[in-house]
Structure 1
Amino acid sequence: MHFVLRLATALALGCLVWFVSADLSVSAQSSTTNPYRATFGWEQLPEGRVLGTVSGVFPDPDGRHLWILDRCGANECAGTDLDPIMKFDLEGNLVDSFGAGLFAFPHGFFLDHEGFLWVTEGGSHGDSRAVAGEAMGIGHQVLKLNQQGDVVMRLGEAGVWGDGPNHFNGPSGVVVARNGDIWVSDGHRGGNNRIVKFSADGTFLLEVGGGVGSESKEAARFSDPHDIKMDSQGRIYVADRGNSRIQVFNQEGELLYIWTHYGKPSGLFIDRNDILYAGDGLSGMVRTGPPDNWRSNLGWEKGIRIGDLKTEQAWVTHFIPQHDEDVGAGIEFLGVDFDGNIYAGEVSRRRLVRYVPHRPSELIRTQ
């Protein structure tokens, strides 16, 4: 496996930024160890209910339950009376559910250290999945809910898109620091191409990227920032999917790293031990017609790449190839329980895959 590392000075940002690029062949990716096997059917649902696209999985702080965000048995929730937020025990039994009617296209999902649930509406203006929400007067918001399903906070204006400090355009992800500060990736493909920071009470603090016609390959700019996560040191990780990279920032919004060795990341998860999991469900897709940059990353495989954020550049140590043959957009959303089992939401197949170790000794521990 051959890596190329170069140090560049980002004068416009006033800081040193490590750019990491990787020359990886498909065979090199496949040779990275994979200690996991795919399992199916973990979730036990009421008769007649099926999973759609699972766009988030988080372990409850009690260690005995998992929270899942589901697109109502399909790839959107508009027009249904199904609950998108579901609570399961570790054996896959459904314990609770709520959230019907709140979302048209639930996308980003986060469970903060106080147990509050955060959900973003990921349909950008002009996207067919946003049209229904806008007609219903919902969308373009970030909602905070308690575990009884009550909405206790809203960011953005319902059904109204924009690029100012109080509006979003299809926010794709959200993460909350222990001090309550809120980071939002805004937005989904065709959205604002920025990340935004708010205080705990929702006051706008800063943004990185954004602006009219803001899609860009430049450092600290974005093309479809599809997810956002934070490690134990407070560093912010953005799945800059359209640019096939992860960008890393500090709490002041200053760029620290650009990593291209995680493929074309759609979804990120960082566990309690600062292990990074990146889901890539689009690399290597060949399409007819004009080039489609957000889908192209030829020479790379779809799957899950795993690295240790306690190391300087978090090189990929494990690679889990996507299970089964290619049928379109694959893994886009990830969660990991406290035992290290991985839960992957696939878009085209609309299924949840649970990855468990071949042998217990090979499990990547999260404690």
Structure 2
Amino acid sequence: MDLRGLVNTSVIGVASLFMAIGAFFGSAGSARPQSSGTSKNAAAESPPAASPLGAPNNLPDPYVPGVSWGQLPDGRKWGSTAGIAVGPDGNIWAIDRCGAHGSRGTNCADSPLDPILEFDPSSKFLKSFGKGLFVSPHKITVDHDGNLWVADNGIKDGKGQQVFKFDQNGKILLTLGKAGVSGRGLDTFDQPTEVAIAPNGDIFVADGHGEKTTDNARIMKFDAHGKFLKTWGKKGTGISEFDCPHTLAFDSQGRLFVGDRQNNRIQIFDQDGHFIAEWKQFGRPSGIYIDKSDVIYVADSESRNGEPGYGYNPGCRRGIRIGSAKDGSVKYFVPDAAPYPAAADSTGPEGITADAGGNMYGAEFTMDVKKYVRK
């Protein structure tokens, strides 16, 4: 199937839903709740055709099941991953939390391992770097020039809460934020999640992975040299408000797509922060990737039924929804291997990207990277 041959279709109607914002607090090493109204051992059910918010569960799946990918150095296994990106040369870059499980903890703080890894398209390991710089790296972005951007949302011993720009050999070209300092100021972050680079080089940072009502939930904009330009957003459920802005992507028009994860939606803005649209038909967005043809890939790793609280998005099956960034139509659905309804723990990809052939790569919180080959 040709994912780039998308045609305009009407978006599934969006029904109203009571949005309950509870807080499930994990351990210091993980933001994920350990239990929910749905047991891990509960019998699998058939999901509805679409969730109450309009996310379809029964579309064609044009991929073979994902398989573990990446020839890691001897003795090394994947830790929790959340970020993966394809560079201009076709090589794949991934973030690994230093072989450890969890997020927003201190899993790389004292590790001898490099968290940034490069592979060629055949999965051959090429190089790694970043040892000693990060506390808990989150997402990775490769810009048009092949430079790498990584957000660190951990904090320990004077490190963390920063964004780094690297060249492909690991040289630091720019840092944003204050090392080891979290805050609400214009020069600090509080659990930054991902970076997106505009065509003119402006830098956009999603800032705010926390569940507390006092935590940051905003977009920060800087020029190409790191000078602060503006910010927008606050904690909430309204338009231009966020609850865990977890992922960012630009389309070909230069519109900024924000994965507003805990609100189970994508919000779209222009580069001055003006609201354009709200989409709920792609599920609960942990990761967003938009290719040059405006095919949008959205990874949902957390939707669950059960009691209101973290991850609550009833009737929505986890998986990857693929459609058009131009009109919001959803054309394909790659279901998570986990049975429906899922338990509270994360499964499937949190980070998502695709190569020039349309093959997908998913970075999984549950300690793996998988490749999905088109049928």
Give the TM interval when normalised to the shorter protein. Answer: 0.7 to 0.9
Instruction: Give the structure 2 partner of residue 309 of structure 1.
Output: 325
Structure 2 residues without counterparts, runs of 5 or longer:
1-9, 16-48, 102-106
Instruction: Give the structure 2 partner of residue 67 of structure 1.
Output: 93
Q: 1:44 to 1:167 in 2, by over 3 A?
A: same
Q: 2:286 & 2:210 partners in 1: Cα distance?
A: 11
Secondary structure at the counterpart of residue 56 of structure 2: helix
Deviations 1:239-274 (A, max 9, x none): 000110000000111000001111111111111211
Deviation at 1:4, TM superposition (A): 2.6
Secondary structure at the counterpart of residue 68 of structure 2: coil
Deviation at 1:41, TM superposition (A): 3.1
Instruction: Give the structure 1 partner of residue 122 of structure 2.
Output: 91
Is it true that 1:106 corresponds to 2:122 in the alignment? no
Is it true that 1:335 corresponds to 2:356 in the alignment? no
> Are the aligned partners of 1:59 and 1:338 in contact in 2 as well (CA < 8 Å)?
no
Q: 1:218 & 1:341 partners in 2: Cα distance?
A: 35
Q: Name the aligned partner's letter for residue 111 of structure 1.
A: V
Deviation at 1:318, TM superposition (A): 0.5
Instruction: Give the structure 2 partner of residue 196 of structure 1.
Output: 220
Secondary structure at the counterpart of residue 98 of structure 2: coil
> Are the aligned partners of 2:50 and 2:57 in contact in 1 as well (CA < 8 Å)?
no
Is it true that 1:353 corresponds to 2:370 in the alignment? yes
The percentage of aligned residue pairs carrying the same residue is 40
Question: Whose RCO is larger (CA < 8 A, sep 6+)?
Answer: 2
Secondary structure at the counterpart of residue 279 of structure 1: strand
Instruction: Give the structure 2 partner of residue 297 of structure 1.
Output: 313
Deviations 1:47-90 (A, max 9, x none): 21001122222112112x11111111123322211111111011
Q: Name the aligned partner's letter for residue 3 of structure 1.
A: I
Secondary structure at the counterpart of residue 299 of structure 1: coil
Question: How many aligned positions are there?
Answer: 321
Instruction: Give the structure 1 partner of residue 297 of structure 2.
Output: 277
Deviations 1:112-145 (A, max 9, x none): 01111000012xxxxxxx3xx33x2111111101
C-alpha RMSD over aligned residues: 2.1
Deviation at 1:101, TM superposition (A): 1.0
Deviations 1:155-180 (A, max 9, x none): 00000011111111010110111211
Q: 1:335 & 1:353 partners in 2: Cα distance?
A: 11
Using the size of structure 2 for normalisation, the TM-score is: 0.81
> Are the aligned partners of 1:2 and 1:24 in contact in 2 as well (CA < 8 Å)?
no
Q: Name the aligned partner's letter for residue 186 of structure 1.
A: D
> Are the aligned partners of 2:184 and 2:190 in contact in 1 as well (CA < 8 Å)?
yes
Instruction: Give the structure 1 partner of residue 68 of structure 2.
Output: 41
Instruction: Give the structure 1 partner of residue 188 of structure 2.
Output: 167
Instruction: Give the structure 2 partner of residue 157 of structure 1.
Output: 178
> Are the aligned partners of 1:69 and 1:85 in contact in 2 as well (CA < 8 Å)?
yes
Instruction: Give the structure 1 partner of residue 265 of structure 2.
Output: 245
Q: 1:308 to 1:141 in 2, by over 3 A?
A: same
Secondary structure at the counterpart of residue 159 of structure 2: coil
Instruction: Give the structure 1 partner of residue 242 of structure 2.
Output: 222
Instruction: Give the structure 1 partner of residue 23 of structure 2.
Output: none
Deviation at 1:285, TM superposition (A): 4.4
Deviation at 1:5, TM superposition (A): 6.3
* Larger strand share, 1 or 2: 1
Q: 1:103 & 1:232 partners in 2: Cα distance?
A: 32
Q: 1:299 to 1:113 in 2, by over 3 A?
A: same
> Are the aligned partners of 2:14 and 2:280 in contact in 1 as well (CA < 8 Å)?
no
> Are the aligned partners of 1:42 and 1:91 in contact in 2 as well (CA < 8 Å)?
no
Structure 1 residues without counterparts, runs of 5 or longer:
7-22, 123-129, 359-367
